[in-house]
Structure 1
């Protein structure tokens, strides 16, 4: 990450705070029911409403109707993965137009490999694919990927675009697969936390000024512009292991893309939760 280049306000009165999402970190169009300036705002963090990727619920309504009949979480996860295998012909790539012997053998790259890749390296090729997916679906531009992404003409940005293109090349509807991961994550969160709309999450950081901070207030409160996708944990003690400071945030469930326990046995990590970015009111405290 990097130290902010944005103007930072120091405020004593934190109530009624109004800070808009900067225009240069959002794009005008997305595939969501809310625009980027709304879903990336502080107001959305405090008063969230469901986010829906256009077409996903309508196309796969029978899947979620059937999942309602399955009581055990593990069995629902198994059924979902079986559905993904069949719907996207993951075990029969030739049915999706794959030609054996082609130069770039990447047809086995699917949502599972992308998720594992993020856990292994959030600045890698698979992570670039997910950050590109967040931009396409929610309209939030990435701020960091193995370097600052302030300038679309910079070497860092060009490298990010190349990694994203390489990650998508010769794959089978990979972004649509990620749409389904998000939809299934939202389905399971409703069952895990009935009636709730926020999740207290934590992130360990080494220095506070490595983030884009737009305002500072009393008792460690900050308004922070996060990358368009970020790793958090639901275990505060685990966050202690990753830095001298801890960011505490109430995340709207609707901005959670995936979490480790969503697919038992598939993802292994530090109780990681993948969170869509934007502006957040956070509390930063020492370990």
Structure 2
């Protein structure tokens, strides 16, 4: 049975000229249409993206980044800025409120930890909700395929992404800064030449990663969830599924990558968090 799409947007495929149905909404905060962001055209010829207002509201932070001598110093500047701005250091996190009770302080670090444990858990829902609000791309999967707004799966996703325990510390702004820091770091590392990374994803089947069109032997147009994990190492991807997706990922669609910060739970698997849409991929066996 074909899945129902929340919004069907006809977007020319980069290679065939045929239309691709993508899940997207009309508005976002990056100044490029969501339909274009969801299309293989964007993935083949990406534009630089920036979340509206983030760099303008944090000019001192980005000026200080500009003086960083290396990636390690830039990461330290980012972590210190986040600790001060959002109270993420240990002393502030454990400080009791006026009633003497300790408050759970949401942080991007806890979301990354939750994603590493289960991308379909509550932390994963918050991250997918951030992509939805900033880039206008609806999730296509959360625990199971999301087929319509009124489905129990959609309701579960909405309940989890809106959970108050994750929205008490400007978590959306934290993720905005994480994305902008990732983009700053990728630009600095790659200059103005390279705009893609070749990444790998291991899958057991295509329930979460829907094949929209077969291109030929070993290649297809695949609709990825609005946020998915990839890795730079094919050997790691082989541990996660019977099929390996190989894709050229635009740097503009990378929220997080292994080298961005020195200590994090996604490090051992060379994991990248990638904003989804329709991608031309190679499909192979381990």
Q: What's the TM-score, normalizing by structure 1?
A: 0.87
Query: Cα deviation per residue 1:39-71 (whole Å; 9 max; x = unaligned)?
Result: 111110111011111101111232122112111
Query: Cα deviation per residue 1:245-265 (whole Å; 9 max; x = unaligned)?
Result: 110000000000111221111
Task: Give the structure 1 partner of residue 228 of structure 2.
Answer: 230
- State how far apart, in whole Å, the 2-side matches of 1:202 and 1:62 are: 36
Contact 1:5–1:212 (CA under 8 A) maintained in structure 2 = no
Please state how far the C-alpha of 1:15 moved relative to its aligned partner.
Answer: 7.3
Moved over 6 A (4+): none
Give yes or no for the alignment of 1:132 onto 2:124: no
Task: Give the structure 1 partner of residue 84 of structure 2.
Answer: 86
1:142-153 maps to which residues of 2 (within 5 A)? 142-153=139-150
1:103-252 maps to which residues of 2 (within 5 A)? 105-106=103-104, 108-166=105-163, 169-194=166-191, 195-208=193-206, 211-252=209-250
* Structure 1 runs not aligned, ≥5 long: 8-13
Please state how far the C-alpha of 1:210 moved relative to its aligned partner.
Answer: 5.4
Cα 1:15–1:112 change in 2 (3 A) is closer
Task: Give the structure 2 partner of residue 286 of structure 1.
Answer: 285
The number of equivalent residue pairs is 275
- State how far apart, in whole Å, the 1-side matches of 2:87 and 2:222 are: 41
Tell me the C-alpha RMSD between the 2 structures: 2.5
Please state how far the C-alpha of 1:235 moved relative to its aligned partner.
Answer: 0.6
- State how far apart, in whole Å, the 1-side matches of 2:2 and 2:232 are: 26
Query: Cα deviation per residue 1:74-107 (whole Å; 9 max; x = unaligned)?
Result: 2211111111111223354799xx65456x942x
Cα 1:19–1:276 change in 2 (3 A) is farther
Contact 1:119–1:269 (CA under 8 A) maintained in structure 2 = no
Task: Give the structure 2 partner of residue 272 of structure 1.
Answer: 271
* Structure 2 runs not aligned, ≥5 long: 6-12
Q: What's the TM-score, normalizing by structure 2?
A: 0.88
Contact 1:4–1:213 (CA under 8 A) maintained in structure 2 = no
- State how far apart, in whole Å, the 2-side matches of 1:167 and 1:186 are: 28
1:64-79 maps to which residues of 2 (within 5 A)? 64-79=62-77
Cα 1:89–1:101 change in 2 (3 A) is same
Please state how far the C-alpha of 1:5 moved relative to its aligned partner.
Answer: 3.5
- State how far apart, in whole Å, the 1-side matches of 2:207 and 2:126 are: 27
State the secondary structure of the residue aligned to 2:222: strand
Query: Cα deviation per residue 1:192-217 (whole Å; 9 max; x = unaligned)?
Result: 22321010000111234653111101
State the secondary structure of the residue aligned to 2:162: helix
Query: Cα deviation per residue 1:6-39 (whole Å; 9 max; x = unaligned)?
Result: 79xxxxxx9742344535x111111111111011
Cα 1:55–1:93 change in 2 (3 A) is farther
- State how far apart, in whole Å, the 2-side matches of 1:125 and 1:6 are: 24
Cα 1:55–1:116 change in 2 (3 A) is same
Task: Give the structure 2 partner of residue 18 of structure 1.
Answer: 17
